[in-house]
Amino acid sequence: MLRAVRGTRDLLPPDTDLWNRVEAKVRDVFARYNYHEIRTPVFEDTQLFSRSVGEETDIVSKEMFTWDDRARAQSEKPQSLTLRPENTAGVVRAYIEHGLFKTGTLQKLYYIGPQFRRERPQKGRYRQFYQIGTEMLGPSSAGSESPARDAEILEMLATLLDELGLRGWQLQLNSVGCADDRARYNKALREALQPVVHQMCADCQRRAETNPLRVLDCKVPEDQPIIEKLPKISEYLDEPCREHFAAVRAMLDAVGVPYSINERMVRGLDYYTRTTFEFTHGGLGAQSAVLGGGRYDGLSESLEGPKAPGIGFAIGEDRLILALQAEGEQATQNLQAYVAPLGAGMNPQALKLARELRRAGITADLGDEGFRLKKSFELAEKAGAKYIVLVGENEVASGQFAVKDLSSGEQVSVARDGLVSHLRK
C-alpha cells in the first residue's frame, strides 16, 4: 500500500474544521491591523535562501529540499531550486521584484501556507508543515524602524492568541543588536570559546569558527554548562540598539503584554537584527515554540533591494492546533438538519426542501428515498445532526413537516415557512 511520505501527513475532518476556524480568525485579526495577503511560490531559486537565511544555519546546510531543475536548452545550466523552508525570504524578494517600496508606505503582508524542512519528524515537527506569518517592511521614513512597529506586532500576537482562546502562552524576548554589535559579540564569543571548544560537540566546533552565534542554538546537554558561561549579547548592544529594545519593552509594559527576556534566544536564521521573539506553550513537549520572529533591518539590501527595515513572525500552524487541542479545544460540529425523504419518489421533494433550507443559511445533509425510516434516523445521528426533518407524501401535501430533535427526542410538526427559524433554535 502506498502511504504518505515520512514527515508529511493528511489533515482530515473534523480536525480540518478546527484548522479552518483558526485561519478564519487569523484573517479577521490581521485585517483589523490592516495586513493584506501575499501568496508567493512554493519553490524558489536556492540562492534566495542561502543568501537570506544563511549558509551556516541548520535550515540551509542540512534541511532544504533542493534539486537541479533540467535546463531548457543544452547550452543552459540546470537551475538549483528549493522548496521554501520559510516565507520571509520569498516575501522580501517579491517586495523588491515588484517595486513595492515605490509606494513610500509600509507594506503589511500576511501569508498562510506550507513550508518544507527535512528535519527528523516527531510530535510538532514535520517535513511539510504550515506557517501563518506576517511581514511588515518599508522605508524608514514610513516608520519601519520604529520600536512602535515591534510592540504593535507583539500586541497583535497576544490579541490573536487570546481571541483564539489559547491560554498557556509565554512570550520570550531578546535583542540580537545590529550588524556591528553582532560582529563584536561574535568576536567575544570566539575568544571565550577558544579554550573550551575542544570539549564541545562537533557542530559547535565548526560553528565556533564559522558563526559562533549559532553555538547558542546547541541542544546537546553536555555543552550547556559551557554555553551558560559565555558572554551575553546584552553587554554588546550599542546605544541606539539598547534604546530601541528599551522602548519596545516600555510599550509592552504600557499595554500589559507579559514577556520574559531570554538572552540565549538567537533564533535559527541569520537575517535577524535587534528584536527577536518566540511564543512558547507548555502543552507541546520538546517542540515548544508555537511561533517565532523578529526584525530583519538589512535583509532587503542583502538581496540587492533598497533599505527596507522590517519585522515579522511565523506561527507554526500545526503546533498552534496541537496547543489548542492540548487545552481541550475541539472542532465544533454544526449540522443543523438531516433531511430524510420517506418512500419512493420523494428524492426530488427532499432536494427541493434542502435547497430552500441551505439557501436560507441552514447547514443540512440529505438522505435518500431508498433508506428505511430507521436507517435515516441512524445516519442522521451518526452525522451529528441536531434535527431530522421527514419529507413524505403527506408532509409535502399538507405543508407540515415532522421535525425531531435528536438529542431530546422531542418531535413536533412545523409548517414549511416556519422551518428555518425552528431549525436555527
Report the residue from 46, 52, 86, 357 that binds ligand HAM according to the rule CB under 6 A. 86
Using Cβ positions, the residue closest to ligand HAM within the complex turns out to be 316
If the CB atoms of residues 131 and 172 are measured against ligand HAM, the closer one turns out to be 131
Least distance (Å) between residue 56 CB and ligand HAM = 15
SS (H, E, C) 269-308: CCCCEEEEEEEEEHHHCCCCEEEEEEECCCHHHHCCCCCC
Contact 3, 76 (CB under 8 A): no
Q: What is the DSSP string of 124-146?
A: TB-SEEEEEEEEEE--GGGTTTS
d(CA 395, CA 377): 17
Least distance (Å) between residue 157 CB and ligand HAM = 12
Report the residue from 171, 208, 290, 366 that binds ligand HAM according to the rule CB under 6 A. 290
If the CB atoms of residues 274 and 404 are measured against ligand HAM, the closer one turns out to be 274
- By the rule CB under 6 A, 268 interacts with ligand HAM: yes
Beta bridge partners of 314: 133, 292
Least distance (Å) between residue 310 CB and ligand HAM = 8
DSSP 418: G
Least distance (Å) between residue 358 CB and ligand HAM = 37
Contact range with ligand HAM by CB under 6 A, out of 11-19, 82-90, 375-383, 412-420 = 82-90
**Sign, Cα dihedral of 150, 155, 156, 160:** positive
Q: Give CA angle at 235 (232, 236), nearest 5°.
A: 100
* Total residues binding ligand HAM (CB under 6 A): 26
Least distance (Å) between residue 331 CB and ligand HAM = 20
Query: What's the farthest any 2 CA atoms get from each other in the chain?
Result: 93
Contact 338, 390 (CB under 8 A): no
Least distance (Å) between residue 226 CB and ligand HAM = 24
If the CB atoms of residues 203 and 395 are measured against ligand HAM, the closer one turns out to be 203
Q: Give CA angle at 273 (109, 171), nearest 5°.
A: 75
d(CA 364, CA 326): 31
Contact range with ligand HAM by CB under 6 A, out of 35-43, 105-113, 221-229, 312-320 = 312-320
Q: Which three cell numbers stand for residue 50?
A: 542561502
Report the residue from 214, 274, 319, 386 that binds ligand HAM according to the rule CB under 6 A. 319
Encoded one letter per residue, x for contact with ligand HAM by CB under 6 A and - for no contact, window 158-197 reads ----------------------------------------
Q: Which three cell numbers stand for residue 32?
A: 483589523
Q: How many helices (H) and strands (E) does the chain have?
A: 15, 16
Encoded one letter per residue, x for contact with ligand HAM by CB under 6 A and - for no contact, window 101-140 reads ----------------x-x----xxx--x-x-x-x-----
Report the residue from 305, 312, 341, 367 that binds ligand HAM according to the rule CB under 6 A. 312
Footprint on this chain of ligand HAM (rule: CB under 6 A): 86-88, 117, 119, 124-126, 129, 131, 133, 135, 268-269, 289-294, 312-314, 316, 318-319
